[in-house]
């Protein structure tokens, strides 16, 4: 049985758009096709500005954010913390079984 350990939603990220400039001429100077994504909890940042499409740049920015060292360190820490909590809950359940409990009657 698989169990969801924790989840990351789009609310955990801040998405910013900007005019990216560079190649593409007047089109890029007029449209906000550059995208910067910030993961609030870890502080990791991914930026995409190479494509003319904001949608493509958003994909690229998210891939860069997830691959960044800052995000990877945060993810490993989060998994470790949650893993410790799950192991603790399993230990408590184990020790609360009837064979470990002593019942006294007066």
Q: What is the pLDDT along the chain (106 residues), one digit of tens a residue?
A: 666 677 888 899 999 999 877 666 676 677 888 999 999 999 999 999 888 889 999 999 999 999 999 999 999 898 888 877 777 777 777 767 777 666 667 6
Other Cβ atoms within 10 Å of 63 Cβ, number: 13
Annotated domain spans of the chain: 10-100
| pTM of the predicted structure, to 2 decimals | 0.71
| Edge-to-edge strands, sheet with 13-18 | 13-18, 34-39, 45-48
Neighbouring C-beta atoms of residue 18, cutoff 10 Å: 12
Yes or no: say if 35 and 53 are a contact pair by the CB < 8 Å rule: no
CATH class entry, domain 10-100: alpha beta
């Amino acid at each position: 049985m698989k169990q969801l350990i924790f989840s990351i939603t789009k609310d955990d990220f801040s998405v910013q758009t900007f005019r990216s400039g560079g190649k593409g001429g007047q089109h890029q100077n007029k449209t906000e096709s550059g995208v910067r994504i910030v993961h609030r909890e870890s502080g990791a940042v991914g930026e995409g500005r190479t494509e003319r499409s904001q949608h493509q740049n958003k994909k690229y920015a998210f891939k860069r954010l997830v691959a960044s060292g800052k995000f990877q360190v945060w993810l490993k820490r989060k998994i470790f913390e949650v893993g410790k909590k799950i192991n603790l809950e399993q230990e408590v359940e184990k020790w609360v079984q009837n064979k470990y409990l002593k019942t006294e009657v007066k």
